Amino acid sequence: MLITFEGIDGSGKSTQAALVRDRLASLGFETLLVREPGGTGLSERIRELLLDSSHPIHPFAELLLFSAARAQLCAERIRPALESGAVVLCDRFFDSTTAYQGAGRGVADPGWLRDFHGRVTGGLVPDRTYLFRLPVETARARRAERAEDRMERAGDAFHRSVSDGYDAIARAEPDRFLVVDARDTVEAQHAVVWSDLARLVGNGTEGARSGNGSETT
């Protein structure tokens, strides 16, 4: 099963992914938590480039770098873990590219990106995506407590476009997405996520769906 956690920077998705990982592990599930970009040696090197504010990156080059990191992560870690029967939790996946580089940067339309993501991931599509929705101003206030990276410094207008992009994806794929109010407490958000995920796990859902339907790996 492939579970992804999405949201604008500062939404708290990483905290929720870690809580789910710990709870699943405590119940005996084989669990893998990875982040994007990152998760492999090559992908972490790409992450350093993408988040470095000392040099400009063309928007299309940005899309390709994120996608290269994702392709390596899928081949090296995600697909092998799914094939072993693990529950894979991914802190960002291709929906981030659709929202950030598609809606935020205006690099490509959703249809083009959908086909491109299929090639990058080898057809992997999350079984469930949790979208942590948070007002841009609240997210900015949360990020003020730490040093911001290149993506986080893009400004409110950019992050509003990203947030709108996420909402559009969630509306288009309501069966895959569960939207969580990230203004709630950490405990309340976890309760919402866990109630949903426990039902999915309890139904025996395994593997990840490919672009051509269900695939048990």
> Burial level of 204, CB count in 10 A (0-12/13-18/19+)?
exposed
**Phi/psi-derived region of residue 213, left when phi > 0, alpha when psi is between -120 and 50, beta in every other case:** left
Q: Evaluate whether residue 168 is within a structural domain.
A: yes
- How many domains in the chain? 1
∠ at Cα 87 (79, 188), nearest 5°? 135
Q: Evaluate whether residue 124 is within a structural domain.
A: yes
Q: Evaluate whether residue 162 is within a structural domain.
A: yes
The position carrying tokens 């950030």 is 100
**Phi/psi-derived region of residue 7, left when phi > 0, alpha when psi is between -120 and 50, beta in every other case:** left
Q: What is the tens place of the pLDDT at every residue in 103-113?
A: 999 999 999 99
Is residue 203 scored above 70 in pLDDT? Answer: no
Q: For all residues of the chain together, what is the average pLDDT?
A: 91
Where residue 74 sits, what CATH number does that domain have?
3.40.50.300
The pLDDT of residue 214 is: 29
Q: Evaluate whether residue 85 is within a structural domain.
A: yes
**Domain of residue 51, residue span:** 2-202
Q: Evaluate whether residue 207 is within a structural domain.
A: no
The pLDDT of residue 139 is: 86
Q: Is the peptide bond before 174 cis (omega within 30 degrees of 0)?
A: no
Strand partners, 128: 3
Q: Evaluate whether residue 210 is within a structural domain.
A: no
* Mean pLDDT in residue range 8-27: 96
Is residue 216 scored above 70 in pLDDT? Answer: no
Q: Give the pLDDT band (50/70/90) at residue 121.
A: very high
Q: Give the pLDDT band (50/70/90) at residue 143.
A: confident
pLDDT more than 70, % of the chain: 93
Q: What is the tens place of the pLDDT at every residue in 171-192?
A: 999 999 999 999 999 999 999 9
Q: Evaluate whether residue 147 is within a structural domain.
A: yes
Q: What is the tens place of the pLDDT at every residue in 30-80?
A: 999 999 999 999 999 999 999 888 889 999 999 999 999 999 999 999 999
Q: Evaluate whether residue 214 is within a structural domain.
A: no
The pLDDT of residue 185 is: 97
